Structure 1
Amino acid sequence: MASQVEISPASADGKGSPSYRHYEYGEDGTTVAIDQPQPIVQDLQPPKGYYRSPLFLGTFLAAGLGLAAGNGAFGLAAPALGLINADIGPSASISWVSIVYILTFAIGSTLVGRVTDIFGRRWFFVGGSVIAIVGTVVCARAQNVPTLIGGMTLIGLATASQASYAFVVGELVPIKYRFLAGGGVWFIGLPTNVFAGKTSVSIANNPNLGWRFIFYVLLIMNAISFLCWFFCYHPPTFQMLHHGESAKKFIVGFDYIGFLLFTAGIILLILGLSWGGSIHPWKSAHVIATLVIGGLLLIAFFIYESFWPSDEPYLPLKLVQNVHYIGIIIVMTVVAMVFYGISILWPAMITVVWPSSIDLYGWKVCAASGVVGLGGIVGGVVASFIRRLKIFVLTLMIIGTAFTGAVAVVHQDNQSLTVSLMVIGAFALGMIEGIAVTMSGIAIVDQNDIGAAVGFATSVRTLGGAIATTIYTTVLSNRLSSTIPALVPPAAIEAGLPPTSLPALLEVLQGLAPLSSVPGLTDTILAAARVAYRTASIQAYRSCFYTTIAFGGLGIVGACFVPNRSKKTDKLVAKELHHKRDEKVLEAGERIAHV
């Protein structure tokens, strides 16, 4: 039996509500069941001048600066972790700075989306910016790595709200303009999205600034974002969303069991993936038990939501029963899996294969992660003019997969070709990102679930990125453990290095020891060893980029289920901002026709 959902727009006068009608078809194509139209969301017609009002423009700026600060906390800080560890460490726990950010961002995204769908968004986003301010202050003043980890934990939690632009801004504009609005939000954060690598290197290596200035920049962004949220962002309150209902009813009926199962499962899976091969061996009980229990908890979560649904389920199952929504999640996750990989592999690879000045290195880093951000901006703009998004996204996924996989041709003598391949592949993937994140809030039956839809998709995307990071680092480590012993020792010994000096030489090549620690080392031996080490590294990185092709194949399958844009819902506006002075009137159920 097949099914179809038809969405009808509001009446022409703007007073009606859009609805959906669900059809079920038998094997012979005849209609066997039709659900009666159900309301999706009030279809609003904002008054003239609304999108030029301080309310909307301030909210738009708040979302843009918040996203820039949230992404920048990872994009700017990650490249500088070596300098940070040297300054306030050294500590073996420095990797936890990135881990806690990913962890708290993943668990917070679904929570923020679902809770704000139910209770209203304003104070959660004002509060999120406050947490971000506290987190950046803690990081900026940190005197040791544990304090830095604590600050990044707060920043990760705050980013869960700051990265929710797809539904915060998206629900305020007509659906046909959501892609354009998303691209605009990304545009505000150019320095921390597109030019993060260059910005980070320039700040951290400037003796007059230093790595702490990164967090001071983020602090300024968060402070302005807070002011904009506080004074301009007045979305529907709880009483506007639930006329006559008590908050106590929704607090009591909230799906706490689902929340605990989902959150615990995500935490354990990401911890297990982060521990494996670095903090603990993959075969250790710590890693195996954490991964197994985390996986079982997520399975239990979906079983619980299916058979024991609460009044306010943590994840409305109608979302995951929507094949278009699942296709978008697959696409988002695959893009994240490739993006996280190139964000880690590319900076490390260009350091070894094409050593350069710090300034040039910063620009070359932007060829990967920075171009993804640029693609996100362009993708949002272009998608606003395209109806057949399925074919468009499918084409972009094929291009992105082909060109990032083709980076495996990397060689020390083809820098221009390799960088060009990376730029094209990363740009295509970035365009998909800009489209898919917005689509995750469009390809749903009920616009009242937009927060949960975007939040859950973001959580899955982040988990996928963590899985991919583990796969890439494992592949790289395994390949280096075979290519380096096979190439470096023979080259060094042939050049005249005593065999007993090999361990010390390998530490030098990895940047772990000074040249003076290698007995018998000469310029000729060092040159031969570096060439062999570069060749061994190139072979290892090639294997990693081949891995991206497998992920891309999954993304191509997911792209086949991405829906096209429908004219029927082009003018649908899900939510409208209001002035504080009008709040009581609106909570009583009356309509205000001005801003």
Structure 2
Amino acid sequence: MEKTRPAAMTGRQRLVLVVLLTAQFMLAVDFSILGVALPVIGEGLGFGLGALQWIATGFALAAAGFTLLSGRVADLFGRRRLFLGGMAVLGLSSLAGGLAQTPEVLLSARVVQGLATAVVTPAGLALLTTAFQGPLRAKALGLNGALMSAGFTAGSILGGLLTDLLSWRWAFFINVPVALFVLIAAPMLLTESRPATREKLDVPGAVTVTGGLLALVYALTRAGEHGFADPVALGGFALGAVLLAAFWAIEKRQANPLVPVRILKRRTVVWGNLAGLIAFATETSLVFLLTLYLQKVLGYSALATGLSFGVLGAGTVIGGVFAPKVIARLGTRAALVAGLAVQAASTVPLFFLGTGSGWLPVLLVATFAGGVGNMVAIVGFMVTATSGLPDAEQGLATGLATMTQQVGITLGIPVMSAVVAAHPESVLNGVTIAVAVNAALVVLGLVTSRAFLRKHG
């Protein structure tokens, strides 16, 4: 049994952690803060019903599609430089979104926010993984995971409060002072990290992987709206598969590949990222399913629904704080498996939800426990997916892990939405069947992690 006494952070390391976690929390909030504000934005700026979803989709496309490329560019050109540049762009695009008077300006600002997120997230994570080693890295990643997961939950609540009390524009404006704080503090605390000799960027690989991810994310979003039999969605999946296959072929022949094939063959990278994909896809889609249940079956308001997920946020924070201790005691693989096991066991009771409000305590307890397990699994995934690689490739490793996170967030909801839509006779019936599918996916992640990851890998 692996036991490691956690080392203490220095004062400077604590300040570095505060700056990086502030940025990552803000990015997590951005994913969900506009969700409850979409109808109000549509009325205020004259968005058509069909165009409204592009406020979310445009952000997701840019954030997921360009993350892997951005992580590698950060490795080559400097992580601090990319981190600061991305934060500046994020602050400016948030200001533009808040001031927007037309749908075109707001959509453009949202896409640029997604691009900035694709730059800042892997660069920030790479700075974090290179600033901390061993148990301190696990502790830093645990806090990072807890705050990011809490940010997804807080975004929905904060978006509702800002929209009701002030204006939807403050869902954009709130980023500006946070970005300014990071831009002032980071240069004094963060040191640059990049190789002494700069390799050439793999342009063919960058084009094919970015195009493939964009096609895949668009197809997933389209399928969530029109079903997986939709011709456009099927075309997007086909194009994504072709481009990603071309990317693999290019990487095997490139002298300086964007993603070396040897990295893609590592068990920790392959199976760690699969576990992370499942962890993110299932937990975010479970929130979607329970939102349908609370609003369509129990008749809760949007704000009451958001507040109900406060217990989930509390669970993820607790899971993130205790995850490093679990990893130190059990080892990374065992912690990852244990987290997925708790998440699966907590999801199963939700299959039995009924139409009465007496089921609410079951939901709250299950989502709290599931949040704890999910966050232990996510921290285990991040430690696994970034371990065993030199500092020079940490931007790439965190880029892969961040891409997994963002594709997982995008993937889960369309899949579960399609399951619910296949049972139009009853919202409750569709939700409970989707919950069963969700739990089965978590078990799949548990089984593959236990089978294919090394004991302490």
TM-score, normalised to structure 1's length? 0.70
CA RMSD of aligned residues (A): 2.6
> What is residue 5 of structure 2 aligned with on the other side?
none
Distance in structure 1 (CA, Å) of the matches to 2:236 and 2:61: 14
What's the offset of the Cα at 1:564? 5.0
What's the offset of the Cα at 1:188? 6.1
Instruction: Name the SS for the 1:476 alignment partner.
Output: helix
What's the offset of the Cα at 1:130? 0.8
> What is residue 392 of structure 1 aligned with on the other side?
335
Out of 63, 72, 87, the position equivalent to 1:114 is 72
**What do residues 184-232 of structure 1 show as CA deviations (whole Å, max 9, x unaligned)?**
34566687345333322222222xx122222222221112112222333
Aligned residues: 446
> What is residue 93 of structure 1 aligned with on the other side?
51
What does residue range 254-273 of structure 1 map to in structure 2 within 5 Å?
254-273=201-220
Does 1:223 find its partner at 2:113? no
Does 1:129 find its partner at 2:87? yes
Out of 157, 173, 177, the position equivalent to 1:198 is 157
Moved more, 85-94 or 192-201: 192-201
Distance in structure 2 (CA, Å) of the matches to 1:386 and 1:452: 28
* Alpha carbons of structure 1 residues 362 and 463: separation in structure 2 relative to 1, 3 Å: closer
* Alpha carbons of structure 1 residues 103 and 373: separation in structure 2 relative to 1, 3 Å: farther
Out of 336, 346, 367, the position equivalent to 1:403 is 346
Distance in structure 2 (CA, Å) of the matches to 1:147 and 1:175: 45
Distance in structure 1 (CA, Å) of the matches to 2:158 and 2:389: 41
Out of 156, 166, 183, the position equivalent to 2:114 is 156
**What do residues 534-555 of structure 1 show as CA deviations (whole Å, max 9, x unaligned)?**
xx22111111111102311321
Letter in 1 for 2:181: I
* Alpha carbons of structure 1 residues 162 and 375: separation in structure 2 relative to 1, 3 Å: farther
Instruction: Name the SS for the 2:423 alignment partner.
Output: helix
Out of 421, 443, 446, the position equivalent to 1:553 is 443
Distance in structure 2 (CA, Å) of the matches to 1:281 and 1:396: 32
**What do residues 455-479 of structure 1 show as CA deviations (whole Å, max 9, x unaligned)?**
1132134224333222111111221
> What is residue 533 of structure 1 aligned with on the other side?
none
Higher helix fraction (1 or 2):
2
* Alpha carbons of structure 1 residues 376 and 167: separation in structure 2 relative to 1, 3 Å: farther
What's the offset of the Cα at 1:334? 0.3
Instruction: Name the SS for the 2:250 alignment partner.
Output: helix
Distance in structure 2 (CA, Å) of the matches to 1:427 and 1:376: 4
What's the offset of the Cα at 1:264? 0.7
TM-score, normalised to structure 2's length? 0.89
- On the 8 A contact 2:323/2:375 being kept in 1, the answer is no
Out of 132, 138, 142, the position equivalent to 1:179 is 138
Letter in 2 for 1:81: L
> What is residue 460 of structure 1 aligned with on the other side?
404
Structure with bigger gyration radius: 1
Unaligned stretches of 5+ residues in structure 1: 1-48, 484-535, 567-595
- On the 8 A contact 2:147/2:317 being kept in 1, the answer is no
> What is residue 428 of structure 2 aligned with on the other side?
538
Distance in structure 2 (CA, Å) of the matches to 1:352 and 1:479: 14
What does residue range 559-574 of structure 1 map to in structure 2 within 5 Å?
559-560=449-450, 561-565=452-456
Letter in 1 for 2:379: G
- On the 8 A contact 1:396/1:432 being kept in 2, the answer is yes
What's the offset of the Cα at 1:270? 1.2
Does 1:344 find its partner at 2:344? no
Out of 230, 234, 259, the position equivalent to 1:288 is 234
**What do residues 105-160 of structure 1 show as CA deviations (whole Å, max 9, x unaligned)?**
11222122212222221211110101111121122112233322211111112222
> What is residue 417 of structure 1 aligned with on the other side?
362
Distance in structure 1 (CA, Å) of the matches to 2:233 and 2:144: 39
Distance in structure 1 (CA, Å) of the matches to 2:440 and 2:117: 30
> What is residue 74 of structure 1 aligned with on the other side?
31
What does residue range 413-562 of structure 1 map to in structure 2 within 5 Å?
413=356, 414-442=359-387, 444-480=388-424, 483=425, 536-560=426-450, 561-562=452-453
What's the offset of the Cα at 1:379? 4.4
Out of 41, 46, 52, the position equivalent to 1:84 is 41
What's the offset of the Cα at 1:315? 0.4
What's the offset of the Cα at 1:282? 4.7
Identity of aligned residues (%): 16
Out of 241, 245, 264, the position equivalent to 1:299 is 245
Instruction: Name the SS for the 2:174 alignment partner.
Output: helix
- On the 8 A contact 1:62/1:226 being kept in 2, the answer is no
Distance in structure 1 (CA, Å) of the matches to 2:351 and 2:164: 30
Letter in 1 for 2:219: G
> What is residue 52 of structure 1 aligned with on the other side?
11
Distance in structure 2 (CA, Å) of the matches to 1:476 and 1:292: 24
Instruction: Name the SS for the 1:452 alignment partner.
Output: helix
- On the 8 A contact 2:343/2:374 being kept in 1, the answer is yes
- On the 8 A contact 2:32/2:153 being kept in 1, the answer is no
Instruction: Name the SS for the 2:329 alignment partner.
Output: coil
* Alpha carbons of structure 1 residues 51 and 461: separation in structure 2 relative to 1, 3 Å: same
Letter in 2 for 1:71: A
Instruction: Name the SS for the 1:169 alignment partner.
Output: helix
Letter in 2 for 1:85: G
Distance in structure 1 (CA, Å) of the matches to 2:104 and 2:436: 36
